[in-house]
């Protein structure tokens, strides 16, 4: 066990778990140490259900996409039967990283080193000259033992979610508490209507900070009046309520006054079963470790984090509308454009402030900080989730 892990574990995590009025936040090392982040990779990402992409970004059979999780090379494939699969992106021969760019395989995935080739289901099907020149098979080598190593994966609301260590409960079970909470807004049929917009359905932001700041900031609405003055015009700080999932897997906040002002008279269609008396409610929930979700009567988004290292994060925003017409037709083009801009402007405001939190963590005088006992409860819940799972 590394020294840094011992230091963090012994002295500084217990205090995170204290009642909120006595607790401190996670210690600085959790944000500034490269070594610590590798422990997080195992405990908070590989051992948990982690988002690594979206199914709609691989629309055709044979589409492939590499994804590196803090240096761990993974490969997402839509196989010939149209199913999303995830593998370790490493050749079973001499360990070359197999795929470096997104694309479509017409036939097989061929390793660039000695041309061993794999199907979209990870079967090893070609091993040129393995038994000496022009001998492409040998009794000494059984191909069926050298498949690509598959990773347990699940597609939920278009998100590709993996449990790399294969140790967690099934995702259908894992997500039940949040599913139950949200069943008062939308049902299974409504969820099937979500449709990713091709034109204004995505943006990516680079945040020069640790990934955890994005989650802890998302959990609270305390910062709203100062960081998001335009959002605060229609959805004020006192319109918000806390969300703290049990068991502790998600936290966030909701508003009772979702009512954005867009130019023009058009309105997006709503989810058919969204109750009339809940039209102005929207909920913003961080599902730990790395995705921030937003549900509204007329759109849904998933804002997922790609941790690059301890101080760099990529934020991927995926926006969905109710049905194909709302998501893809010209009729709603201008509305989609405005909604995209609204979210991008808001998220940029957050990035500015969380980058400054990263700088603050270089101060030895800072002990993880104090929480507001009334405003920071969901953020404290996330800190507790980290403190519990990192040991």
User: For binding to ligand FES (CB under 6 A), which residues are involved?
Assistant: 91, 93-94, 96, 111, 113-114, 116
State the minimum distance, in angstroms, from the CB of residue 165 to ligand FES: 25
**Considering only CA atoms, which of 297, 361, 288 is closest in space to residue 326?**
297
The total of other beta-carbon atoms located within 10 Å of residue 193's CB is 19
What DSSP string describes 84-139? EEEEE-B-TTT--B---S-EE-SS-EE-TTT--EE-TT--EEE-TTTTSTT----T
Closest CB to ligand FES among residues 143, 152: 143
Q: Which is nearer to Fe ion, 183 or 230 (CB)?
A: 230
Both tokens of 174, joined, read 């894992």
Q: Take residue 271 and report the two structure tokens written for it.
A: 């989810």
What sign does the CA torsion over 266, 156, 211, 357 have?
Answer: positive
Residue 46 binds Fe ion (CB under 5 A) = no
At closest approach, how far in Å is the CB of 382 from Fe ion? 14
Shortest distance (Å) from residue 112 CB to ligand FES: 8
Nearest to 127 by CA among 85, 139, 10: 139
Collapse the DSSP code of 351 into the 3-class scheme (helix H, G, I; strand E, B; otherwise coil) and give the result. Answer: helix
* Partner from ligand FES, Fe ion, none contacting 350, C-beta within 5 to 8 A by type: Fe ion
Judged by beta carbon distances under 5 to 8 A according to partner kind, the member of Fe ion, ligand FES, none in contact with residue 4 is none
* Residue 315 near Fe ion by CB under 5 A: no
Pick from ligand FES, Fe ion, none: which does 111 bind, CB < 5 to 8 A by kind? ligand FES
Residue 83's binding partner among Fe ion, ligand FES, none (Cβ under 5 to 8 angstroms by kind) is none
Minimum distance from residue 274 beta carbon to Fe ion (Å)? 24
Quote the distance between the C-alpha of residue 374 and its chain's center. 27
- Partner interacting with residue 108 (select from ligand FES, Fe ion, none; CB below 5-8 Å by kind): none
Report the DSSP pairing between strands 124-126 and 103-104.
unpaired
Residue 40 as a binder of Fe ion (CB under 5 A): the answer is no
For residue 108, the minimal CB distance to ligand FES (Å) is 12
Structure tokens at 60: 């055709």
Q: Which does 113 bind (CB under 5 to 8 A by kind): Fe ion, ligand FES, none?
A: ligand FES
E strand residue ranges, 157-239? 159-163, 194-196, 202-207
Contact 354, 214 (CB under 8 A): yes
Spell out, one character per residue from 333 to 352, where the chain touches Fe ion: x when CB under 5 A holds, - when not.
Answer: -----------------x--
Phi/psi of residue 284, each to 5°?
A: -125, 105
Query: At closest approach, how far in Å is the CB of 119 from ligand FES?
Result: 15
- Nearest-approach distance from CB 111 to ligand FES, in angstroms: 3
If binding is defined by CB under 5 A, does position 306 make contact with Fe ion? no
119 or 347: CB nearest ligand FES: 119
Residues that bind Fe ion (CB under 5 A): 350
């Amino acid at each position: 066990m590394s020294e840094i892990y011992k230091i963090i574990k012994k002295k500084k995590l217990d205090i995170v778990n204290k009642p909120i009025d006595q607790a401190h936040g996670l210690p600085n090392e959790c944000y500034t140490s490269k070594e610590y982040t590798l422990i997080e990779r195992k405990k908070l990402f590989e051992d948990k259900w982690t988002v690594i992409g979206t199914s709609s970004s691989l629309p055709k059979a044979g589409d492939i996409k590499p994804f590196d999780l803090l240096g761990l090379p993974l490969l997402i494939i839509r196989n010939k039967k149209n199913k999303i699969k995830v593998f370790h992106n490493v050749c079973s021969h001499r360990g070359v990283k197999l795929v470096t760019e997104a694309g479509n395989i017409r036939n097989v995935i061929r390793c660039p080193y000695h041309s061993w080739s794999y199907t979209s289901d990870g079967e090893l099907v070609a091993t040129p000259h393995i038994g000496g020149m022009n001998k492409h098979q040998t009794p000494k080598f059984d191909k069926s033992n050298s498949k690509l190593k598959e990773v347990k994966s699940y597609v939920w609301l278009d998100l590709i979610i993996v449990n790399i260590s294969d140790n967690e409960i099934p995702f259908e079970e894992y997500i039940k508490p949040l599913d139950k909470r949200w069943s008062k807004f939308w049902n299974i049929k409504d969820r099937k209507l979500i449709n990713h917009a091709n034109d204004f359905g995505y943006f990516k932001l680079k945040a020069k900070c640790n990934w955890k700041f994005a989650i802890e900031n998302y959990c609270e609405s305390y910062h709203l009046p100062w960081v998001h003055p335009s959002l605060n015009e229609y959805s004020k700080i006192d319109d918000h309520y806390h969300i703290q999932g049990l068991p502790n897997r998600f936290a966030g906040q909701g508003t009772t006054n979702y009512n954005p002002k867009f130019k023009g008279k058009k309105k997006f269609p709503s989810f058919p079963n969204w109750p009339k008396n809940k039209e102005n409610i929207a909920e913003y929930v961080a599902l730990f470790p790395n995705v921030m979700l937003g549900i509204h009567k007329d759109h849904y988004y998933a804002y997922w984090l790609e941790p690059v290292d301890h101080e760099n994060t990529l934020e991927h925003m995926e926006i969905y509308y109710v049905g194909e017409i709302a998501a893809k037709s010209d009729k709603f083009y201008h509305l989609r454009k405005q909604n995209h801009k609204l979210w991008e402007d808001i998220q940029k405001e957050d990035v500015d402030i969380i980058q400054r939190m990263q700088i603050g963590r270089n101060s030895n005088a800072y002990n993880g900080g104090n929480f507001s006992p009334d405003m920071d409860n969901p953020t404290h819940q996330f800190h507790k989730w980290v403190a519990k799972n990192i040991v």
